[in-house]
Structure 1
Amino acid sequence: MSTTRLPGLLVTFDGPGGVGKSTTARIVTETLANSGLSVHSTAQPSRARLGELARHGTDTYRGMALACLCAADRHHQLETEILPALREGTAVVCDRYVASSLVLQGLDGVPAEVVWQLNHGVYRPDLAIVLTGDPQVINARLRARGGHSRFERAADNSLLETTHYIRAVDTLRERGWPVTSVETTAGLPATIAAAIVSLVHHAMTEKSAACP
């Protein structure tokens, strides 16, 4: 993993489908922008051709094929979009990152170590948020909005993803990633986002102190 730190702040959001990831990321982005901070919002898979293949191709691509697509898209997006923004001192909020690959590729039978190898050299976030919740509640939300991929359409997806994310959080922490789990079952989106904004400001303060 890349160890050179850039002026900007990378905040990533991961979690099971239906947990409120995209909504929370959007509110956090809007709140930070309204406070006067330069913020860039993005997502993975990206909107580039590689990303669109991964995003819309989960019924076609599986296992190592999908793992390679997702990793290739991440490397490309880092070089062309995320790292340039971080070099400019911008805060980047990314909906999904490596934790999602550990979970989804893990559900496809790809070992975690192989996922790490494919993602070798990716930029470590300054704050990695993993949203969690009761699998039954998450499943109800997911069924209400509909699944966006074959993973989300699976009947037992919510329980499987929740279990795999618990393991992913442990794995990321073992590798020194600054991971924070945030429970979403009972909280309102605005309340959850406000708590995360506070974490972002704290991370920014710590980074400023370390790099005067």
Structure 2
Amino acid sequence: MSGRFITLDGPGGVGKSTVAALVVEMLRAEGAAVHATREPSDASLGTPARNGTDLYRGMSMACLIAADRYMHVEEEIRPALARGEIVVCDRYVASSLVLQVIDGVSRDVVWELSRHADMPDLAVVINARTDVVEKRLTERGAHSRYEREPGSSERECAMFREAARFLTSFGVRVLQLDASTAGPEDIARAIVAAIHNRG
């Protein structure tokens, strides 16, 4: 089990980052070489995108995210895969198909900006009932203007389901998981099982 690219996406507050960390931990416990990363990345283009959600909007944000993605793929993801590592990325194309569309950019444009990037071997979309996501988001606090907007959870939950269908239609292997009642450990175990199952 080597050189695999796994992405995790979902609405803010669904517990995605917690699950991503658990997946990395479980894979490493099995002896796998794992490279954990995220988008926006921690590199020169990703940092302003991550910290500038109040500054950059619409096409400027969409282009910044896309530019960071291509640099991220070239400088970090592909080298890790070439070393035989499993890359686990917290947010990727599915998040662009939601957040940048919410920001007023058409889905076709967002897809055109991202479709030349390497697609994952497994794209995991974690979702949950809107009330569950809203409760978790309230407890942890909003991390960006996307999460502060009224009705953001309901809109994101619906749009991530649509993003999963969209990616599937382009041949991406997508695993949709419901975190409404399942805990982070259960979700992480399901993802690890799917990684083992290459079918």
For normalisation by structure 2, the TM-score amounts to 0.97
Structural mapping, 1:97-176, within 5 Å: 97-176=92-171
Give me the whole-angstrom Cα distance separating, in 2, the residues matched to 1:195 and 1:47. Answer: 28
Structural mapping, 1:2-81, within 5 Å: 8-81=3-76
Give me the whole-angstrom Cα distance separating, in 2, the residues matched to 1:153 and 1:67. Answer: 19
Deviation at 1:195, TM superposition (A): 1.2
Correspondent of 1:197 among 172, 192, 196: 192
Secondary structure of 2:32's aligned partner:
coil
The one-letter code sitting in structure 2 at the alignment partner of 1:161 is E
Give me the whole-angstrom Cα distance separating, in 1, the residues matched to 2:163 and 2:189. Answer: 24
Deviation at 1:88, TM superposition (A): 1.3
Secondary structure of 2:101's aligned partner:
helix
RMSD: 0.9
For normalisation by structure 1, the TM-score amounts to 0.91
The one-letter code sitting in structure 2 at the alignment partner of 1:74 is R
Unaligned runs of 5+ in 1: 1-6, 207-212
Q: Which position in structure 1 is the counterpart of 2:81?
A: 86
Deviation at 1:196, TM superposition (A): 1.1
Deviation at 1:170, TM superposition (A): 1.2
Deviation at 1:91, TM superposition (A): 0.3
Deviation at 1:163, TM superposition (A): 1.1
Give me the whole-angstrom Cα distance separating, in 2, the residues matched to 1:96 and 1:141. Answer: 18
Secondary structure of 2:45's aligned partner:
helix
Give me the whole-angstrom Cα distance separating, in 2, the residues matched to 1:85 and 1:116. Answer: 25
Give me the whole-angstrom Cα distance separating, in 2, the residues matched to 1:183 and 1:168. Answer: 15
Secondary structure of 2:188's aligned partner:
helix
Give me the whole-angstrom Cα distance separating, in 1, the residues matched to 2:92 and 2:85. Answer: 18
Give me the whole-angstrom Cα distance separating, in 1, the residues matched to 2:116 and 2:93. Answer: 12
Give me the whole-angstrom Cα distance separating, in 2, the residues matched to 1:176 and 1:130. Answer: 15
Deviation at 1:155, TM superposition (A): 2.1
Unaligned runs of 5+ in 2: none
Q: Which position in structure 2 is the counterpart of 1:4?
A: none
Question: 1:57-109 deviations in whole A, cap 9, x for unaligned?
Answer: 11111000000000000000100000001111110000000000000001011
Secondary structure of 1:198's aligned partner:
helix
The one-letter code sitting in structure 2 at the alignment partner of 1:198 is A
Secondary structure of 1:180's aligned partner:
strand
Give me the whole-angstrom Cα distance separating, in 1, the residues matched to 2:42 and 2:118. Answer: 19
The one-letter code sitting in structure 1 at the alignment partner of 2:128 is G
Give me the whole-angstrom Cα distance separating, in 1, the residues matched to 2:176 and 2:186. Answer: 15
